[in-house]
Amino acid sequence: MGFCFSQTLIRWSKQHGRHGLPWQGQKDPYAIWVSEIMLQQTQVSTVMERYPQFMRQFPTVKALASADLDAVMALWSGLGYYSRARNLHRCAQQIMAEYAGQFPSSVQELVKLPGIGRSTAGAIAAFAFEERAPSLDANVKRVISRFFGITSDPQSHKTTQLLWEHATAILPKSKSQMPVYTQALMDFGATWCASKAAKCQSQDQSCPMMSECKAYEIGHVEHIPAKKKKKESPAFTTHIFLIRYQDEILLERRPPKAIWGGLYSLIETPWQPAAKKLDHSKSIDVIDLLNQTEFVSQLSKKDLAAITSIEKRGVIEHIFSHRRLQIQPWVIDLKQKWLCTSYAIDWIRMSRLGEYGLPQPIRVFLESNSR
């Protein structure tokens, strides 16, 4: 009998696959969907901690759809890529409204939902409905690229198409094997055919794919997939203001389309491209900075008289996937509250901060500056 990719992989997974992760063995498409979305840009160890919390709070698509977006964002706090949380919420509402709370069962229908791409749709369809549909997460892409010796630019449309074709061709014939196969392929890519230390590059020569693997045969395992060309990500600077009155602080809800969209944050000056790092030598007019924020168009004499102290804190460096941000925080104490004229800005008690979705660096800053 010749070599069969899917059966070799399934045999491998019995002994070496990852077992017992909280989202494994699920048939509920809702539970699978949440785990797939959370795993997209978050490490498995973090998802293991956060996924059960999310499922406890929103155990069904109905519970998620009827939740307040703020509660969803608060629970997503720290996981980054917040459009995932907004899309989860929107998608749950769409499933309730258009599918009577029942997840559609085919890739074709699933990809029409917000935040569900072909790969996530494939995983949901394979795990929950045993559809013969491939899923291509980054680990799976690597395995297929190496196994078939694909050396072309991994970003190109042509390469992506080729990967989907190969991924479809090697699926098991039997639908009932789809859940175990899909999991096995993800596990194999995450553990044995790993990005930096592929099994075949060590002393251990037990990879069951070795006899057929093109990358191994041509000695290019470490160069496949081809590395993305790294561009220097642009840097920006901003000033943020922790404005405090007794145990209350001013928070602003960010617009949905912005970075950290829909989260609450501190009032900030518009982000400026940073030609160089923030200049600490120059004396800074904080009132002038405050007047650059959207919250304050012009501070009145009464507002200024309410300020009891202004203190500068250490610069926070934050790295996004495509940009870097230097944040200069200021702590301003008031003896009288400033009035909020915008609906997006409000005074919040520090003790209730846990109820709000905040960007991780802002949460850390607030926790270290609480009184």
Which residues are marked as active site? 36
Task: For residue 345, state whether it binds ligand SF4 (rule: CB under 6 A).
Answer: no
Distance CA 60, CA 234 (A): 40
Measured between its terminal Cα atoms, the distance across the chain in Å is 71
Among 215, 307, 358, 362, which residue interacts with ligand SF4 (rule: CB under 6 A)?
215
Q: How many helices (H) and strands (E) does the chain have?
A: 15, 9
**In the stretch 95-134, what mask flags binding to ligand SF4 with x, by CB under 6 A?**
----------------------------------------
* CB nearer to ligand SF4: pick between 11 and 302: 11
- Tell me which residue of 135, 130, 65 sits closest to 99, measured CA to CA: 65
* CB nearer to ligand SF4: pick between 169 and 315: 169
* CB nearer to ligand SF4: pick between 179 and 225: 225
Give the CA-trace dihedral at 217, 218, 224, 230, to 10 degrees: 160
Contacts of 361 (CB under 8 A, 6+ apart): 316, 318, 327
- State the DSSP H helix or E strand holding residue 142, giving kind and residue range, or none if neither: helix 138-147
How, if at all, do strands 324-334 and 235-245 pair?
A: parallel
Among 147, 181, 241, 264, which residue interacts with ligand SF4 (rule: CB under 6 A)?
147
Rg (CA), the chain: 25
Region from 43-51, 128-136, 157-165, 211-219 binding ligand SF4, contact rule CB under 6 A: 211-219
Provide the β-strand partners of residue 245. 248
Task: For residue 146, state whether it binds ligand SF4 (rule: CB under 6 A).
Answer: yes
Please tell me the chain's helix, strand, coil percentages from 3-state DSSP, rounded to the nearest 5: 45, 15, 45
The first and second tokens of residue 123, run together, are: 């995983």
Region from 90-98, 121-129, 206-214, 353-361 binding ligand SF4, contact rule CB under 6 A: 206-214
8 A C-beta contact, residue 276 and residue 311: no
Task: For residue 51, state whether it binds ligand SF4 (rule: CB under 6 A).
Answer: no
Task: For residue 170, state whether it binds ligand SF4 (rule: CB under 6 A).
Answer: no
Among 51, 216, 241, 260, which residue interacts with ligand SF4 (rule: CB under 6 A)?
216
8 A C-beta contact, residue 345 and residue 249: no
Task: For residue 207, state whether it binds ligand SF4 (rule: CB under 6 A).
Answer: yes
Contacts of 208 (CB under 8 A, 6+ apart): 8, 9, 11, 12
CB of residue 197 to ligand SF4, shortest distance in Å: 9
Number of amino acids touching ligand SF4 (CB under 6 A): 14
How, if at all, do strands 267-268 and 272-273 pair?
A: unpaired
Task: For residue 141, state whether it binds ligand SF4 (rule: CB under 6 A).
Answer: no
- Window 221 to 240, contacts with ligand SF4 (CB under 6 A): 221
CB of residue 279 to ligand SF4, shortest distance in Å: 49
Among 210, 218, 310, 344, which residue interacts with ligand SF4 (rule: CB under 6 A)?
210
- Window 186 to 205, contacts with ligand SF4 (CB under 6 A): 192-193, 198-200
Sites of contact with ligand SF4 (CB under 6 A): 146-147, 192-193, 198-200, 207, 209-210, 213, 215-216, 221
